[in-house]
């Protein structure tokens, strides 16, 4: 942060970077902005900056007294502050390591990022002195509810047919972690891509009573050979053609998987993709330690690519 003066007004200059997350290809994944030295920015200023950036999430980084590799971060959408978000963790790790704010030592470097929801353990993997993979770990206590709308209502709210819903391996469930998600298995990749949220059908169903406004559709089909699941978020607050990041829904999805008896106990590793070649594809690497206990440990990792850097001028 530097201070300049224009026409007698003090202006603070804040450096920022943008990164595309859960991808190695520029212009794919999720766009995240990171202000690595947020200084004494107030909540109102951070909200205004996030609105100006107009990305899904903007991260503001503050020092921590705990350790040289600890940081406090606050995350904002253009509309509000977010207590927990996964994509900003990946973006922050990539930015701090790339600009040298975090010194990479050995193959893996530990970092702790404290969000409003609590501290998150982060691991940065390097190759030739550059960060190549960021992974974070969370312990969650998912709560599962089997009371969901009947199949005909689920199909209607997604603009699909009942035959498009899958029911052999998985069933629709409501899962609560940081927030509730209605998770619905779909038979084919094509059906997930073709789905269009129907607000009227949703409002007339029993779904609003569950408080789950976000619906996570998924299928075991994908157009990527290395992916185990293809997923997409829809809901009343998501544009009908939007395909938003799914990082925040991953903890709920792991809890969802563990709620099915055929998912055996042990450590499971799998890949989820979202988007497609024309819709900012993301690839998330997931590990979960399924021990049949109340608490579930989840590790979410992926690459990111630096896209831009700049300076924002904020009046003092």
18: three-class secondary structure by DSSP? strand
Indicate the burial class of 182 (C-beta count within 10 angstroms; 0-12, 13-18, 19 or more). buried
pTM: 0.86
- Structural domains of the chain, count: 2
| Residues contacting residue 172 through CB under 8 Å, at least 6 positions apart | 148, 149, 151, 154, 165, 182, 183, 184, 185
Q: What secondary structure letter does DSSP report for 78?
A: S
Same domain? For 150 and 46 the reply is: no
**What is the number of alpha carbons within 13 Å of residue 37 lying toward its C-beta?**
13
Same domain? For 128 and 198 the reply is: no
Same domain? For 126 and 168 the reply is: no
Same domain? For 101 and 211 the reply is: no
Same domain? For 132 and 221 the reply is: no
pLDDT for 4 beyond 70: no
The domain that holds 94 is classified in CATH as: 3.10.310.10
Domain range spanning residue 156? 143-294
**Predicted confidence (pLDDT) per residue in 199-231, tens digit:** 999 999 988 888 888 999 999 999 999 999 999
- Please state the rounded mean pLDDT for residues 289-305: 94
Same domain? For 127 and 235 the reply is: no
In whole angstroms, give the CA distance from residue 220 to residue 236. Answer: 25
Same domain? For 148 and 227 the reply is: yes
Indicate the burial class of 247 (C-beta count within 10 angstroms; 0-12, 13-18, 19 or more). buried
Which own/partner contact pairs does 115-123 have at CB distance under 8 Å and 24+ positions apart? 115/73, 115/74, 115/75, 115/83, 115/84, 115/85, 116/74, 116/81, 116/82, 116/83, 116/84, 117/83, 117/84, 117/178, 120/89, 122/89, 122/93, 123/301
How many other C-beta atoms lie within 10 A of the C-beta of residue 184?
A: 28
Same domain? For 309 and 181 the reply is: no
Q: How confident is the model at residue 278 (pLDDT cuts 50, 70, 90)?
A: confident
**Predicted confidence (pLDDT) per residue in 53-110, tens digit:** 999 899 999 998 777 789 999 999 999 999 888 899 999 999 999 999 999 988 999 9
pLDDT for 41 beyond 80: yes
Same domain? For 130 and 172 the reply is: no
> What tokens appear for 92 in the block?
């922050």
The phi and psi torsions of 111 (rounded to 5 degrees) equal -145, 145
Same domain? For 149 and 29 the reply is: no
Q: How confident is the model at residue 262 (pLDDT cuts 50, 70, 90)?
A: very high
DSSP string, 169-232: S---EEEESSSEEEEEEBS-HHHHHH----HHHHHHSSGGGGT--EEEEEES--SSTT-SEEEE
Same domain? For 128 and 159 the reply is: no
Same domain? For 125 and 154 the reply is: no
């Amino acid at each position: 942060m530097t201070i300049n003066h224009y026409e007698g007004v003090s202006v603070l200059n804040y450096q920022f970077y943008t990164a595309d997350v859960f991808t190695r290809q520029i212009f794919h994944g999720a766009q995240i902005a990171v202000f690595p030295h947020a200084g004494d920015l107030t909540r109102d200023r951070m909200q205004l900056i996030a609105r100006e950036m107009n990305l899904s999430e903007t991260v503001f980084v503050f020092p921590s007294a705990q350790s040289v590799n600890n940081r406090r971060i606050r995350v904002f959408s253009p509309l509000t502050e977010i207590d927990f978000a996964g994509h900003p963790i990946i973006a922050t790790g990539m930015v701090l390591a790339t600009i040298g704010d975090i010194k990479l030592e050995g193959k893996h470097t530990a970092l702790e990022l404290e969000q409003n929801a609590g501290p998150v353990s982060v691991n940065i993997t390097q190759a030739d002195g550059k960060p190549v993979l960021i992974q974070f770990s969370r312990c969650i206590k998912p709560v599962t509810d089997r009371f969901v709308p009947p199949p005909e209502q689920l199909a209607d709210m997604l603009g699909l047919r009942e035959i498009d819903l899958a029911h052999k391996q998985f069933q629709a469930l409501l899962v609560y972690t940081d927030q509730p998600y209605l998770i619905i298995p779909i038979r084919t990749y094509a059906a997930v891509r073709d789905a269009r949220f129907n607000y009227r059908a949703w409002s007339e169903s029993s779904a609003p009573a569950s408080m789950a406004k976000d619906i996570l559709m998924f299928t075991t089909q994908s157009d990527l050979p290395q992916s185990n699941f293809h997923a997409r978020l829809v809901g009343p607050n998501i544009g009908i053609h939007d395909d938003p990041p799914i990082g925040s829904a991953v903890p709920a999805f792991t809890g969802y998987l563990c709620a099915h008896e055929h998912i055996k106990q042990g450590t499971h590793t799998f890949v989820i993709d979202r988007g497609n070649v024309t819709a900012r594809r993301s690839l998330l690497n997931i590990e979960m330690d399924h021990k049949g206990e109340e608490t579930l440990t989840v590790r979410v990792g992926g690459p990111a690519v630096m896209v831009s850097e700049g300076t924002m001028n904020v009046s003092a």
